[in-house]
Structure 1
């Protein structure tokens, strides 16, 4: 992987070395899955749920994104989705809008970094 791209991914909160290890050092396979993330529809669905204030429906989508982000080494996003899941489980929805705004920022950084691969 190009060092510039690796640095951009790391700046966006991606643990590239750990993710590559998860993919058994198969860089091509890792890149394939990173690029699939860009086309994943879960973030779009979550955006709609938050905008429509359907907070009771957020948990399964946030949980899916948490798992994907954890597997792909998106440390910042994983932490945000983890907190979102915790809040939804305890039915504490008052911070979801602000948390989602931060998630959108970090998500955009990750997607932009991936698009440079």
Structure 2
């Protein structure tokens, strides 16, 4: 369930990034949903493979920035910063997982809005 006041996707900003091409934005959202794997980040962090975990967090953060996933960007930035310090607060990782899941729910809504 989405937290009130939390912006998961700033679709207006995202649309500007693709020059208001709704079909392209919906396609990019679908690609994110199909191809972005949070499980990799979780596995690398659990194994304390900090270099790979940082790469996975950085990828998620970059895509989140490019697609205007506001909350996912903030949380993945926090996780990436922690990983750079070779540690990760389990609560931060759980929060990121919940944010990621909610972002996926919101993606479906945005795709439905723009894919038509």
TM-score (norm 2): 0.80
In the TM superposition, residue 52 of structure 1 has moved relative to its aligned partner by: 3.8
What does 1:1-117 align with in structure 2 at a 5 Å threshold?
A: 13-91=8-86, 93-95=87-89, 97-116=90-109, 117=112
Tell me the distance in 2 between the aligned counterparts of 1:11 and 1:87: 22
Are the aligned partners of 1:12 and 1:109 in contact in 2 as well (CA < 8 Å)?
Answer: no
Report how far residue 51 of structure 1 moved: 3.8
Give how far 1:56 is off.
Answer: 4.5
- SS of the residue aligned with 1:73? coil
Structure 2: gaps spanning 5 or more residues: none
Q: How many residues align?
A: 106
CA–CA distance in structure 2, aligned partners of residues 17 and 115 of structure 1: 16
Q: Is the 8 A contact 1:12 1:113 kept in 2?
A: no
Asked if the contact 1:34/1:114 (under 8 Å) is kept, the reply is yes
Q: Superposition RMSD on alpha carbons, in Å?
A: 1.9
Structure 1 residues without counterparts, runs of 5 or longer: 1-9
- TM-score of the superposition, structure 1-length normalised? 0.79
Q: CA deviation at 1:85?
A: 1.4
Shift in Å, 1:32: 0.2
